[in-house]
Amino acid sequence: MSIFTGAGVAMITPFKEDLSVDYDQLEKFIDFQIDNGTDSIIICGTSGEASTMSHDEQIEVISACVSHVNKRVPVIAGAGANCTEEALSLGKRAQGVGADALLVVTPYYNKATQGGLEEYYTTVAGAVDVPIIMYNVPGRTGTNIQPKTAAKIAKTAENIVAIKEASGDLSQVATLAYETQGDLDIYSGNDDQVVPILSLGGKGVISVLSNVAPKETHDMVAKYLAGDVKGSLEIQMKYLDVIHNLFAEVNPIPVKRACAEMGFCRDILRRPLTEMEEPHAQLLINAMKETGIL
């Protein structure tokens, strides 16, 4: 059974001026997401700036999210690392505070072999009971999960049930769908490829756009899966300029500014991330106004 079908938000983490987590704003933002149709909350991923948090802090944020969501939608916790033992520990702790599933990125910087990736994922999977989504994002990690490897991992570890595909290579996604034959749910990891990946059998998207347009991102997937391909494509096209501007600088810099403009957080990022350059920010704000987000 799928962890979720539809649009999961790759959620930001609001910070206070002193760079501590703003839990009041976090709870308000969770409610905004759920009230507007978000199908799943992905907490402490790339968009949540988990790479600037200690493991203890990540677990605190995951625990707070799980408590506030209170089973309204699945909570998927980021739990990857470039060290297998750290990923294993983080996964077990996230499960312990109630995460419904884990999003486990490939080991970054190390550039593991395909055999190393297989060992990494099966080791983490063997340490937890919750479902796992593999996260393939070669542009950040320097490592690409090949389709045959993904299929082999899915057959080896029964709780590895899905993959977030952010390679940007639709030919690879097509091959992945062929190799896995429905054994592995596929989620788009790129907001500009939601409809194409749905056409290849995808279950939805883990989305940055959902931070600012949760209803619309949910509707994009829901319409497609209900057979309204034209309606789904219209939403994809309507928000394409917003999507492009959300990636004018490295994620989550632009989406943090966008959420600040909407009043959901302060425009504060932990270093080495810096605030969005103003010319880029104005283009993003204009795109948000043109689509009615602002």
> Would you please indicate which residues are annotated as catalytic (active-site) residues?
135, 164
CA 9 to chain centre: 6
DSSP-derived 3-state class of residue 265:
coil
For every residue of 85-105, which 3-state class applies, written as one string? HHHHHHHHHHHHCCCCEEEEE
Q: Determine contact, residues 7/221, Cβ cutoff 8 Å.
A: yes
Q: Is the sign of the CA dihedral 166, 169, 170, 173 positive or negative?
A: negative
d(CA 30, CA 112): 35
Q: Determine contact, residues 189/164, Cβ cutoff 8 Å.
A: yes
| Joined tokens for residue 3 | 């962890």
To which H or E segment does residue 9 belong? Answer: strand 6-10
d(CA 65, CA 76): 10
Q: Determine contact, residues 270/13, Cβ cutoff 8 Å.
A: no
Q: Is the sign of the CA dihedral 210, 161, 189, 44 positive or negative?
A: positive
In terms of Cβ atoms closer than 10 Å to its own Cβ (0-12, 13-18, 19+), residue 237 is exposed
Q: Which one, of 96, 211, 112, 200, lies nearest residue 153 by Cα?
A: 112
The secondary structure of residue 22, as a DSSP letter, is -
| Joined tokens for residue 257 | 């500014």
d(CA 50, CA 221): 27
